Amino acid sequence: MNKLLQYLKTITFRNNLIIALVTGFVLLLLTFFVLRFYTRHGESIAVPNLKGMEIEEAIRALEAQGFRYQIDSVYQADSPPGLVIEQDPDMGTKVKNNRTLYLTIITKSAPEVQFPDLVDMALVEALATLNNYGLKLGDTTYIPDIARDRVLEVNYGGQDIQVGQLIPKGSKIDLILGDGRGDSEVEVPDLRGFTLDEARFTLQGASLSLGNVTYVGSVTDSSAARIIRQTPAADSTGQKKVSIGTGINLELSN
């Protein structure tokens, strides 16, 4: 222990201690300046405004300032393709040289989506479904049907479209909807050979009513009598129509 204390009091120890402290200080300064140079402390560049530029113009601006870049794309039907619509970092952000900027541009080709099943949907539900699939509503046409605003048919480009068919995102879809009133006219059924009960049931299903009933000849059992004539008469082509609720006059005979 005495030898250690004596050594600590020598000039040699003091010189070695001073050399160690100076060396440590020099190494600390050297490390600080090297790191400062390596990280380019205090040197930064403002990110330019690239939104609204054509992608080729934006790339030239980035390369001129020493930036790197990565490009992603989205589809927007109402916007011209090739435009930069998003950038990260934002304009004016201070960044180091050679920083990577991320750009989002509008793609030139629309992605395809599978067409959903819209038939029998209410109009509000069909519109929500079209929106979820990135599709748009085209023309709407109303035809007679008891259900108002119910989708009866679907067309794309004037043609029928099948569920699951691939079409470009953003396409316009035409809908044929019910007007809520139904047909104002219906076909006249051919009742010849029916019994009166059968005729009543058929007329009710056709939204028609029973008119005058006349028996021809001697009819002993009215339930077994068959219709031999009706007014208005049925058309064999199925084209004859009368207003809903029209009474059909019947003549029956055994």
pLDDT at 252 over 60: yes
**CB-based contact 229:251 (threshold 8 Å):** yes
Looking at residue 132, its pLDDT comes to 93
- Say how far apart CA 197 and CA 15 lie, in whole Å: 130
Q: Looking at residues 119-138, what average pLDDT do you find?
A: 93
Most confident of 25-29, 106-110, 147-151, 217-221: 147-151
**Is the omega angle on the peptide bond into residue 89 within 30 degrees of 0, that is, cis?**
yes
Say if strands 166-168 and 241-243 run parallel, antiparallel, or are unpaired: unpaired
pLDDT category of residue 43 using cuts at 50, 70 and 90: low
Between 147 and 35, the more confident residue is: 147
**CB-based contact 168:115 (threshold 8 Å):** no
Give, as one character, the DSSP assignment of residue 135: -
Burial degree of 250 (CB within 10 A; 0-12, 13-18, 19+): buried
pLDDT category of residue 3 using cuts at 50, 70 and 90: low
Looking at residue 193, its pLDDT comes to 92
Residue 67 token pair: 């930036």
- Say how far apart CA 82 and CA 115 lie, in whole Å: 27
Looking at residue 169, its pLDDT comes to 84
User: Is the entire prediction scored with pTM above 0.75?
Assistant: no
pLDDT category of residue 130 using cuts at 50, 70 and 90: very high
Strand partners, 164: none
Share of the chain above pLDDT 70, in %: 87
Q: Looking at residues 112-134, what average pLDDT do you find?
A: 93
Share of the chain above pLDDT 90, in %: 33
pLDDT tens digits for range 145-198: 778 889 999 999 888 899 999 998 888 999 999 887 666 778 889 999 999 999
- Say how far apart CA 64 and CA 62 lie, in whole Å: 5
Q: What is the mean pLDDT of the chain?
A: 83
Looking at residue 153, its pLDDT comes to 93
Between 42 and 138, the more confident residue is: 138
Helices (H), the chain: 2-8, 11-38, 55-64, 123-132, 196-205
- Say how far apart CA 247 and CA 249 lie, in whole Å: 6
Strand partners, 95: 45
Burial degree of 9 (CB within 10 A; 0-12, 13-18, 19+): exposed
- Residues for the chain: how many in total? 254
